Amino acid sequence: MSSSKPYQARKMSRRQLITDASRGICGVGLLATGLAGYAKQSQSLAAQCLRPPGALIEEDFLAACVRCGLCVEACPYDTLKLGKLFEPVTTGTPYFDANIIPCEMCEDIPCQEACPTGAISPELESINDAQMGLAVLLDQETCLNTQGLRCDICHRVCPLIDEAITLEVQRNTRTGHHAMFIPTVHSDKCTGCGKCEHACPLPEAAIKVLPREIAKGELGKHYRWGWIEKDKAGGSLIDEVLDLPDRVPEGG
Partner 1 sequence: MKHPIGHEAIETKGWFATHKYLLLRRFCQLGILALFVIGPLLDIWIIKGNLSSSLLLDTVPMTDPFVALQAFAAGHLLESSAIIGAMLITGFYFLLGGRVFCSWVCPVNMISDAAQWLRRKLKIRTSTKLSRKTRFWVLAMTLVLPIYLGTMAWELINPVSMFHRGVIFGMGAGWVILVGIFLFDLLLVEQGWCGHICPQGAFYNLVGRFSPIKVTADKREQCDKCMDCFAVCPEPQVLKMPLFGENKGFGPLITSADCTNCARCIDICSKDVFKITTILPEKAEV
Per CB under 8 A, residues contacting partner 1 are 1-3, 5, 8-10, 16-17, 19-21, 23-25, 27-28, 31-32, 35-36, 38-40, 42-43, 59-60, 62-64, 66-70, 72-74, 81-82, 84-87, 90-92, 114-119, 122
Q: 35 phi and psi, to 5 degrees?
A: -65, -40
Name the amino acid, one letter, at 221.
K
Nearest approach, Cβ of residue 92 and ligand SF4 (Å): 7
Contact between 154 and ligand SF4 (CB under 6 A)? Answer: yes
d(CA 149, CA 180): 7
Q: Nearest CA to 159 among 125, 123, 182, 126?
A: 126
Helix, strand, coil distribution of the chain in percent, nearest 5:
30, 15, 60
Q: State which of residues 68, 159, 160, 213 lies at the interface with ligand SF4 (CB under 6 A).
A: 68
Q: Nearest CA to 160 among 182, 201, 128, 130?
A: 128
200 binds, among partner 1, ligand SF4, none (CB under 5 to 8 A by kind): ligand SF4
d(CA 184, CA 165): 5
CA atoms within 13 A on the CB side of 180: 18
Contact between 135 and ligand SF4 (CB under 6 A)? Answer: no
173 binds, among ligand SF4, partner 1, none (CB under 5 to 8 A by kind): none
Contact between 110 and ligand SF4 (CB under 6 A)? Answer: yes
Contact between 134 and ligand SF4 (CB under 6 A)? Answer: no
Q: Which helix (H) or strand (E) holds 29?
A: helix 14-41
Residues of this chain that bind ligand SF4 (CB under 6 A): 52-53, 65-71, 75, 77, 79-80, 94, 103-106, 109-111, 114-115, 117, 119-120, 127, 137, 143-145, 151-154, 183, 200, 202, 206-207
